[in-house]
Structure 1
Amino acid sequence: MFTVGRNAWYYVGLLAVAAIWGANFGFSRWALASFDPILFTFLRFGLAVPLFFGLLWWKEGSIGVSVKAGLQLAVIGAVGVAALEIAVTYSIKYTTLANASLLNVAPWPIFAALFAPLFLKERFTSRLAAGGAAALAGVCLIILGGEGGFDPSSDHMLGNGLALMVSVIGALYNLACMPLMRTYSALRVSAWSIAFGSLFMAPFTAGSWAKVDWSGLGSVHYAVLAYNILLATVAAFIIWNACMFRVGAARANFFRYAVPLSAVIAGLVMFGETVTMWQLFGGVFMAAGLVWISTERRQPLETPAG
């Protein structure tokens, strides 16, 4: 049955987050000329932690979780934030951008759909399969239709393996958060997972601080950092987790396919990069697949606390 109804705003939220994350490829390209990648990632998440807990206290009047949930969130933060983001950084370093983009993004929703029954009572429907296949075809055209293409040579095997690992870890991270959001709000789950992730990421920045010419940083660098903290982390993680809880992890993760499209648009606007006809076709396929997914009725889950 074709119906979007009250879930419409959740799909809009997922698309908005995908647009923010895609545009962040362009913004971060400016900053990474001056920052070590892992240090920049740590600053993005570490500086967001006080904002998360400030919002949590202001909105819910407390910040705590049970010891059991805290241990779960520590594991989720260590693997789903620290390990994930470090793997993303090194996958980009050891393979081409096209390879990293394709292997990071394309398999993620598929793994989420495959692993979902281990965490949740989500049914993989024929509409989800058809829409996901169309969206997957679209994202492949968007990435492979660019100038870089896909390079399967052995020189990139390490980076390719790390990129594929990102898809597995990312899918498990999203799914592991879902049961916790039956008890705690998306804001609380996001705050604690990112706090633990930042804590575990900190040791990897030990040799990076002295490499930055802090006196040479300008307003653009701080604006990009603010974008990363306020929009790409605080707002994006809260909105994504809240919307994902409402529409389901498998369905929500297919909306990650809009990230490369947003990145291509960012490259066009910020750096004058060209957009090919194949990428335009890919955008149409991807949009059609996501619309098809979003028009399927799904029973809402329990309302989260807070």
Structure 2
Amino acid sequence: MNARDLCLAIAVAAIWGVNFSFIKLGVAHIDPFVLAGLRFTLTALPLVFWLPRPAVAWRWLVVYGFAFGVGTWGLVTLAVRAGLSPGLAAWLLQSSAFLTPILGLLWLGEALSRAQKLGSAIALVGFVLVVMATDGATSAMGITLVLAAAVSLSAANLVVKRSGVKPGQILGFVAWSCLFAPLPLFALACASTGEAAFAALPQQFTGIAWASLAFQVYPTTLFGYWVWNSLMARYSAAEVSPVALLVPIFALVFAWLLFGVVATPGQTIGIVFILLGLLTTTFYQRLSLVLTLKGWVR
């Protein structure tokens, strides 16, 4: 990527990293399902009145809206409300990088490369270490919820691929699919807390709550996905995807700056293994090619 586009990609990674802290600020005031429902309501409206519906079947919009809106960010928001730190939530959500190829094998019949197998094995060690390092200061329920969200995010990634949406219609695809996320999220809010989740909204919408919601909708979802998918359309995935490794790093930094949250030693070791797994999956094939060309590996 040229310098301008690389800076844009890094800026998006920083926005996505700090978004986890904004979620934490929001759930301190608003029910997590209501907060997520409002996020996707504002993501879809009024944008769907300006963007044409992408040329894909309705079922893909419905499934993506549920998987991305409810299954991914509804569960992440609930996990942060359950006490999981923003930085750790971001790292655990990265497991979708390994779950996506596995689901692709099961659903689309795509073979796993050696890099994906090795990277997944290394990262799995990291996830086990993170879970084993759970103590009284870390929410076991939060970890479970984020891992479930990672599975849902992997499914959402495959839905985009399976739908056949064109690169120029990605923003419209996100906006139109988000129409199908708010109602299930609001229904979950009613099922969990009843009418109280909505009755208290006028008092709960402080300046911090508004800032949390606005940041999740506009910089994170609309701007972030527009820039990221535009770069994915212009460059190869191998050039753009490694920048996503910065997201959990930014999340850890902002969680420390805003809330003073630091990972435990056991979690830190696990995070290092997850990072090694991500790096292996991303760079293993290119490194092997370079070594082979130089005659160091046969």
TM-score by length of 1: 0.68
What residue is the counterpart of 2:66 in the other structure? 78
1:176 aligns with 2:159: yes
Aligned to 1:64: 53
C-alpha distance in structure 2 between counterparts of 1:112 and 1:291, whole Å: 16
Contact preservation (8 Å) 2:130, 2:271: no
User: Over residues 57-88 of structure 1, what are the superposed CA-to-partner deviations in whole Å (9 max), with x where a residue is unaligned?
Assistant: 3xxxx51345x611221122123322333333
2:214 aligns with one of 214, 226, 250 = 226
- 1:22 Cα shift? 2.0
Show CA shifts across 1:219-271 (max 9, x none). Answer: x332232211111111223334445566459x94x765543322210022223
Report the AA paired with residue 31 of structure 1.
G
Whether 1:163 and 2:146 are equivalent positions in the alignment is yes
Structure 1 position 26, deviation (Å)? 1.7
C-alpha contact 2:71 2:153 (8 A) present in aligned 1: no
**Which of 201, 217, 226 is 1:212 aligned to?**
201
Partner of 1:188: 172
Aligned pair in 2 of structure 1 residues 31, 88: CA closer, same or farther (>3 Å)? Answer: closer
Number of matched pairs: 275
* Residue equivalent to 1:110: 98
Q: CA deviation at 1:40?
A: 1.2
* Contact kept? 1:190, 1:241, Cα under 8 Å: no
* TM-aligned CA deviation for residue 178 of structure 1: 1.7
Judging changes above 3 Å, is the alpha-carbon distance between structure 1 residues 29 and 65 closer, same or farther for their aligned structure 2 residues?
A: closer
Q: Is the CA contact (8 Å cut-off) linking 2:120 and 2:277 kept in structure 1?
A: no
1:133 & 1:16 partners in 2: Cα distance? 30
Q: Helix, strand or coil for the counterpart of 1:112?
A: helix
Q: How does 1:134-283 map to 2 (within 5 A)?
A: 136=123, 144=130, 149-151=133-135, 156=140, 160-183=143-166, 185-206=169-190, 207=195, 208-214=197-203, 217-218=206-207, 220-243=208-231, 247-248=236-237, 252=241, 257-274=245-262, 279=268
Q: 1:14-59, CA deviations, whole angstroms, 9 ceiling, x for partnerless residues? A: 65444322211222222222111111111211112125336xx3xx
* Backbone CA RMSD of aligned residues: 4.5
Distance 1:13 1:128 in 2: 27
Provide the rounded CA distance (Å) in 1 between the counterparts of 2:213 and 2:95.
29
Q: Is the CA contact 2:127–2:270 (under 8 Å) kept in the aligned structure 1?
A: no
Residue 21 of structure 2 corresponds to 26
Asked if the contact 2:80–2:86 (Cα under 8 Å) also holds between the matched residues in 1, the reply is no
Calculate the TM-score normalised by the size of structure 2. 0.69
Residues of 1 paired with 2:80 and 2:202: CA distance? 23
Deviations 1:170-200 (A, max 9, x none): 1011111123344462112111121222243
Rate the CA distance shift 1:217–1:161 in 2: closer, same or farther, 3 A.
Answer: closer
Secondary structure in structure 2 of the residue aligned to 1:64: coil
Gaps of 5+ in 2: 287-298
**Cα separation, partners in 2 of 1:116 and 1:11, compared to 1, 3 Å:** farther
Counterpart among 31, 34, 38 of residue 36 in structure 1: 31
Q: Is the 8 A contact 2:23 2:212 kept in 1?
A: yes
Answer whether contact 1:138 1:283 (CA < 8 A) is retained.
no
Pair 1:102–1:87, CA change in 2 (3 A): same
Q: Distance in 2 between matches of 1:15 and 1:291?
A: 20
> What is the identity, as a one-letter code, of the residue corresponding to 1:77?
G
* C-alpha distance 176-216 of structure 1, shift in aligned 2 (>3 A): closer
Q: What secondary structure, in the 3-state scheme, does the structure 1 residue paired with 2:28 have?
A: coil
Structure 2 vs 1, CA of residues 65 and 26 (structure 1 numbering), >3 Å: closer, same or farther?
closer
Whether the aligned pair in 1 keeps the contact of 2:41 and 2:182 (CA below 8 Å) is: yes
1:88 aligns with 76
Which whole-Å CA distance do the structure 2 matches of 1:40 and 1:277 have between them?
32
